[in-house]
């Protein structure tokens, strides 16, 4: 399945971004193949409604889990409707580190 | 260069590059990316270590023009690894971060400036002889950010087509460069005349001589003109560098002559 994390830079070594809708990039990790990629968040610069647009972007990329620090009200609602699982995470780590921590955790609890 | 001591501007990026060349234009579609790609490729063929930085964030074309569309950006030791075209040529572009090719990038100035600084500073460039910077048309955030962030800027090359509407816009790019303390290395007139392949008649479909005229008016060097050549368009669409793979032609000779004149300006 695909896990996504908002990123402040264009690589998995970048710091997690502390926003969701306006994060400049999103990282996508495939738990089955172990592959990862980063994509620019297309609507980050929009004047409004960026939360729901970011959720659409995740849905388009088949995301099942989102690891994020905080979410605006509109994003929260849109995410609940989309069925994507939300994991809260302090953004003071790299994207790679956040994913590894989640993966370890999810393996421990399953 | 203007004295920057005590200014409030952010520090310049610390990368190992001898000469940074900005490729600017007033209007879009005049051939900046074509010039950037072929300039960078030609220098790499001469054995120089070249970086090609595609700063057109909204319409990044360099990867398509070099056949690199399927590539992604990897990272190593916290640095972005540029995509290698050959032993001597590395490329960075926003296009590598847009796998859905129809994805727009609806970003405002500050976000673009951040991305540009990341592409400059957080990239593991090899020690470079030249960094060629392909810019979007006009004199907006992208050009401003790179003009203020790049070290060792040799100067700006201005690309125009012959018609007055284009040269008028290019004069703004010339003034912009000067206002930011950069040398204007010269003007290139692209799409300068078309030679009919069957009757060999030359028709100046976009006019001719506007580039030389504006260079003269603004007192900057004129580097030369590139005629319309079907193979140049083809090379961009098919993803190969014109200078790397073409039979001899007036266009090829013109490009080489321009590159020689350009490089001789930088010493």
Q: Which of A42-46, A103-107, B86-90, B246-250 has the highest mean pLDDT?
A: B86-90
Helix (H) or strand (E) holding A101: helix A95-109
Report the residue of chain B nearest A94, measured CA to CA: B78
Instruction: Answer yes or no: do A39 and B108 touch at CB < 8 A.
Output: no
Classified as helix, coil or strand, B189 is: strand
Report the residue of chain B nearest A41, measured CA to CA: B105
Q: Which pLDDT value is given to residue B1?
A: 47
Q: What is the pLDDT of residues B199-219, one digit of tens each?
A: 888 899 999 999 999 999 999
Residue A38 touches chain B, beta carbons under 8 Å:
yes
Of A9, A39, A45, the CB nearest to B118: A9
pLDDT at B3 over 80: no
Residue B6 touches chain A, beta carbons under 8 Å:
no
pLDDT at B228 over 90: yes
Of B72, B106, B107, the CB nearest to A37: B72
> Which residues have C-beta within 8 Å of that of residue B145, sequence separation ≥ 6?
B112, B113, B116, B117
Residue A58 touches chain B, beta carbons under 8 Å:
no
Residue B124 touches chain A, beta carbons under 8 Å:
no
pLDDT at B2 over 60: no
Percent residues over pLDDT 70 in chain B: 97
Instruction: Answer yes or no: do A46 and B106 touch at CB < 8 A.
Output: yes
Domain boundaries, chain B: 17-265
Report the residue of chain A nearest B117, measured CA to CA: A9
Mean residue pLDDT across chain B: 94
Q: What is the pLDDT of residues B117-150, one digit of tens each?
A: 999 999 999 999 999 999 999 999 999 999 999 9
Task: Give the Cα separation of A7 and A4 in Å (integer).
Answer: 9
Per DSSP, B95 falls in state G
Residue B257 touches chain A, beta carbons under 8 Å:
no
Q: Does domain A2-109 have CATH number 3.40.50.150?
A: no
CA distance to partner chain B, nearest, from residue A73 (Å): 22
Backbone angles phi and psi of B104, in degrees to 5 = -80, 170
Q: Which pLDDT value is given to residue A50?
A: 93
Instruction: Answer yes or no: do B118 and A10 touch at CB < 8 A.
Output: yes
Going from the C-alpha of B110 to that of each of A12, A54, A71, B142, the distances in angstroms are 22, 19, 21, 10
CA distance to partner chain B, nearest, from residue A47 (Å): 10
Q: Which pLDDT value is given to residue B100?
A: 78
DSSP codes joined into one string, B199-222: T--EE-BTBSSHHHHHHHHTT--E
**Helix ranges, B53-184 (H):** 62-65, 109-121, 141-149, 164-179
Residue A33 touches chain B, beta carbons under 8 Å:
no
Percent residues over pLDDT 90 in chain B: 85
Task: Give the Cα separation of B27 and B161 in Å (integer).
Answer: 9
Neighbour tally for A40: CB within 10 Å? 24
Task: Write out chain A residues lying below 8 Å of B122, CB-based.
Answer: 9, 11
Instruction: Answer yes or no: do A13 and B75 touch at CB < 8 A.
Output: yes
What pTM value is reported for the model? Answer: 0.93
CA distance to partner chain A, nearest, from residue B224 (Å): 38
Mean pLDDT of B153-158: 98
CB B80 within 8 A of CB B111: no
Report the complex ipTM.
Answer: 0.88
Q: What is the pLDDT of residues B170-188, one digit of tens each?
A: 999 999 999 999 999 999 9
Domain boundaries, chain A: 2-109
pLDDT at B99 over 80: no
Residue B58 touches chain A, beta carbons under 8 Å:
no
Q: What is the pLDDT of residues B20-47, one digit of tens each?
A: 999 999 999 999 999 999 999 999 999 9
Residue B264 touches chain A, beta carbons under 8 Å:
no
Q: Which pLDDT value is given to residue B211?
A: 97
CATH no. for B17-265 = 3.40.50.300
Q: Per-10-residue mean pLDDT for chain A, 110 residues long?
A: 96 94 96 94 91 95 94 89 94 95 81
| Beta-carbon pairs below 8 A across chains A and B | 57
Instruction: Answer yes or no: do B75 and A40 touch at CB < 8 A.
Output: no
Q: Which pLDDT value is given to residue B78?
A: 87
Confidence of residue B7 (pLDDT cuts 50, 70, 90): low
Task: Write out chain B residues lying below 8 Å of A44, CB-based.
Answer: 106-107, 111
pLDDT at B267 over 80: no
pLDDT at B4 over 60: no
Task: Write out chain B residues lying below 8 Å of A14, CB-based.
Answer: 75
Residue whose C-alpha is closest to residue B231's, from B254, B263, B215, B209: B254
């Amino acid at each position: 399945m695909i896990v996504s994390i908002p990123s402040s830079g264009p690589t998995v070594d970048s710091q997690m971004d502390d926003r969701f809708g306006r994060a400049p990039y999103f990282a996508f990790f495939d738990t089955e193949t172990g592959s990862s990629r980063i994509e620019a968040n297309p609507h980050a610069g929009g004047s409004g409604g960026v939360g729901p647009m970011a959720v659409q972007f995740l849905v388009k990329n088949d995301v099942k889990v989102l690891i994020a620090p905080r979410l605006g009200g509109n994003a929260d609602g849109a995410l609940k409707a989309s069925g994507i699982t939300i994991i809260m995470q302090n953004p003071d780590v790299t994207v790679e580190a956040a994913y590894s921590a989640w993966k370890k955790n999810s393996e421990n609890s399953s | 260069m203007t004295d920057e001591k005590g200014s409030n501007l952010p520090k310049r990026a610390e990368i190992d590059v001898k000469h940074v060349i900005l490729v600017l234009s007033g209007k879009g579609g005049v051939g900046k990316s074509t010039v950037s790609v072929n300039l960078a490729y030609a220098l790499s063929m001469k054995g120089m270590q070249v970086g090609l930085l595609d700063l057109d964030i909204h319409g990044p074309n360099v990867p398509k023009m070099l056949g690199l569309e399927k590539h992604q950006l990897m990272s190593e030791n916290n640095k972005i690894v540029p995509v290698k075209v050959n032993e001597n040529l590395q490329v960075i572009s926003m296009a590598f971060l847009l796998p859905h090719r129809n994805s727009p990038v609806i970003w405002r100035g500050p976000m673009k400036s951040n991305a540009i600084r990341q592409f400059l500073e957080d990239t593991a460039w090899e020690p470079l002889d030249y960094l060629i910077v392909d810019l979007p048309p006009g004199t907006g955030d992208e050009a401003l950010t790179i003009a203020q962030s790049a070290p060792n800027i040799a100067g700006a090359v201005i690309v125009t087509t012959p018609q007055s509407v284009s040269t008028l816009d290019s004069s703004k790019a010339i003034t912009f460069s000067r206002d930011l303390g950069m040398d204007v290395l010269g003007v290139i007139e692209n799409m300068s005349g078309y030679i009919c392949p069957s009757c060999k008649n030359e028709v100046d479909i976009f006019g001719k001589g506007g580039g030389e005229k504006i260079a003269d008016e603004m007192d900057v060097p004129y580097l030369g003109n590139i005629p319309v050549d079907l193979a140049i368009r083809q090379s961009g669409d098919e993803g190969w560098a014109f200078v790397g793979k073409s039979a001899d032609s007036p266009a090829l000779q013109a490009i080489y002559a321009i590159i020689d004149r350009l490089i001789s300006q930088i010493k």
